[in-house]
A and B are shown apart, each in its own frame.
Chain A
Amino acid sequence: MMKKALAIAGAGAILLSMAGPALAGWWWMGSDDVTIGNMAFVTNKVTTKADSGDNSIGGKCVFGGTIKTGAASAATYVGNDVNGSAVSCVGCDGDVDIHNGAFVTNRVWTKADSGDNSIGGKFVGGGSITTGAAGASSIVENFINWSIVGGVPTP
Chain B
Amino acid sequence: MKAIKKTIIIFLIFLLTLGQIGFRVVLAEETDAGGETQTTETVSETGDPLPPCDPPEDTSGVGVENEAQVTNEVDSTAITGENTIGEPTPTPTVDPASLEENLETEVSPTPTPFSAEVETGDAVSVVEVENSVNTTEVNSQVLYQTLNIFVPQGGDIDLSITPLAIAESVFVQNNHQEPVVNVAVIDNQNFAYLSNEIVSLANTGGNSIEGAEEAVINTGDAYSIVSLLNKVNTTFIDSTIHVLTINIFGGIDGNILLPEFSSQGGCCGEVVKIESKATVENKVDSSAISGQNSIVSTESASITTGNAQSVVNLVNFVNINLIGVTFHYLFINTFGEWLGNFLGWDDLEALPGGGSLTLSSTSSGGEKKGDCSTCADAVLIENQACVVNNVASTANSGGNTINGGEATIKTGNAYSAVSIINFINSSIIRSFGFLGFINIFGFLKGDVGGASLFATLEEPVLEELLVENTSSEKESGPEVRQEGGLLEVNLSHNVGTHVLPGDTITFFVTIKNPGTGRVYDAKLALNLIKDGVDMGGGIFDLGDIDAGKGAKVTTGLVLSKEAGPGEYVAQALASGHVGPDDQLISSSAESPFTIAVAGSFLPGGITQEVEAAGGGGEALGAMAAPKGTTQEQKLWVLLFGSLATYFSTKGFQRRRELAAAFSRRQGFIGSKTAAFRSFLMSLASLLS
Interface positions of A (Cβ within 8 A of B)? 1-2, 5, 8-9, 11-12, 14-16, 18-21, 23-24, 26-27, 29-103, 112-114, 117, 132-133, 135, 137, 139, 141, 143, 145-155
Contacts and interface: CB of A to CB of B under 8 A. Distances in A.
B412 to A, nearest CB: 9
Given A73-B683, A74-B286, 7 more contacts: A53-B291, A66-B303, A77-B314, A99-B41, A100-B319, A132-B305, A155-B363
Contacts of A42: 278-281, 316, 318
B275 to A, nearest CB: 5
Contacts of A20: 20
Interface stretch (B249-257, B558-566, B586-594, B653-661): B653-661
Nearest to B56: A21
A48 B45 contact: no
Interface stretch (B229-237, B459-467, B488-496, B639-647): B639-647
B309 interface: yes
27 contacts: A30-B271, A31-B269, A34-B272, A42-B279, A42-B318, A43-B280, A46-B283, A50-B416, A55-B291, A55-B409, A61-B298, A64-B301, A70-B290, A71-B309, A79-B314, A80-B316, A86-B327, A87-B323, A89-B269, A132-B687, A135-B683, A139-B672, A141-B651, A141-B654, A147-B40, A147-B42, A150-B38
Contact of B31 (A47, A100, A150): A150
B34 A58 contact: no
Interface stretch (B6-14, B69-77, B476-484, B528-536): B6-14
A51 B673 contact: no
B293 interface: yes
Contact of A8 (B13, B316, B347, B686): B13
A98 B41 contact: yes
Given A44-B316, A79-B315, A154-B364, A52 B305 contact: yes
B184 interface: no
Contacts of A15: 17, 20-21, 24, 43
Contacts of B658: 143, 146, 148
B279 A41 contact: yes
A40 B189 CA distance: 17
B656 A84 contact: no
Contacts of B275: 18, 21, 36-38
A133 B38 contact: no
B159 interface: no
Given A18-B21, A61-B298, A5 B6 contact: yes
A70 B630 CA distance: 15
B380 interface: yes
Contacts of A71: 307-309, 687
A149 B33 contact: yes
Interface of B: 3, 6, 9-10, 13-14, 16-17, 20-21, 24, 26, 28, 31, 33-34, 36-45, 49, 51-52, 56-57, 59-61, 187, 189, 266, 268-325, 327, 347-348, 361-368, 378, 380, 382, 398, 409, 411, 413-414, 416, 425, 636, 639-640, 643, 646-647, 650-651, 653-654, 656-662, 669, 672-673, 676, 679-680, 683, 686-687
B294 A56 contact: yes
Nearest to B402: A57
Contacts of A139: 647, 672-673, 676
B305 A33 contact: no
Given A33-B271, A64-B300, A24 B59 contact: yes
A27 B378 contact: yes
Given A5-B9, A94-B269, A96-B40, A70 B59 contact: no
Nearest to A17: B275
B316 A86 contact: no
A4 to B, nearest CB: 8
Nearest to B280: A42
Contact of A62 (B26, B301, B640): B301
B656 A63 contact: no
B31 to A, nearest CB: 7
A113 B661 CA distance: 41
A140 to B, nearest CB: 9
A90 B324 contact: yes
A39 B669 CA distance: 24
Nearest to A135: B683
A116 to B, nearest CB: 8
A59 B402 CA distance: 11
Nearest to B45: A101
B6 A2 contact: yes
Q: 9 tightest CB-CB pairs across the interface, nearest first?
A: A32-B269, A150-B33, A12-B13, A91-B368, A70-B307, A88-B324, A38-B319, A154-B363, A103-B49
Given A18-B21, A27-B271, A149-B40, A52 B367 contact: no
Most buried by B among A30, A32, A58, A81: A81
Contacts of B662: 146
Contacts of A79: 314-316, 650
Contacts of A84: 317, 319-321
A77 B647 contact: yes
A81 B291 contact: no
A153 B583 CA distance: 50
Contacts of B272: 33-36
Given A9-B13, A50-B309, A63 B287 contact: no
A44 B312 CA distance: 12
A151 B33 contact: yes
Contacts of A149: 31, 33, 38, 40
Contacts of B348: 155
Given A47-B286, A54-B292, A88-B364, A73 B308 contact: yes
Given A52-B291, A155-B657, A91 B683 contact: no
Contacts of A96: 38-40
Nearest to B292: A54
A149 B339 CA distance: 40
Contacts of B292: 51, 53-55
Nearest to B3: A1
A23 B382 contact: yes
A90 B318 contact: no
A64 to B, nearest CB: 4
Given A63-B300, A154-B347, A46 B288 contact: no
Contacts of A93: 36, 269
Contact of A16 (B17, B59, B362, B365): B17
A55 to B, nearest CB: 5
Contacts of A31: 269, 271
Given A16-B16, A40-B318, A153-B659, A34 B323 contact: yes
Contact of B273 (A26, A88, A153): A26
A58 B295 contact: yes
Contacts of A36: 272-276, 321
Nearest to A69: B305
A75 B640 contact: yes
A23 B687 contact: no
Contact of A73 (B26, B291, B307): B307
Contact of B297 (A49, A65, A137, A153): A65
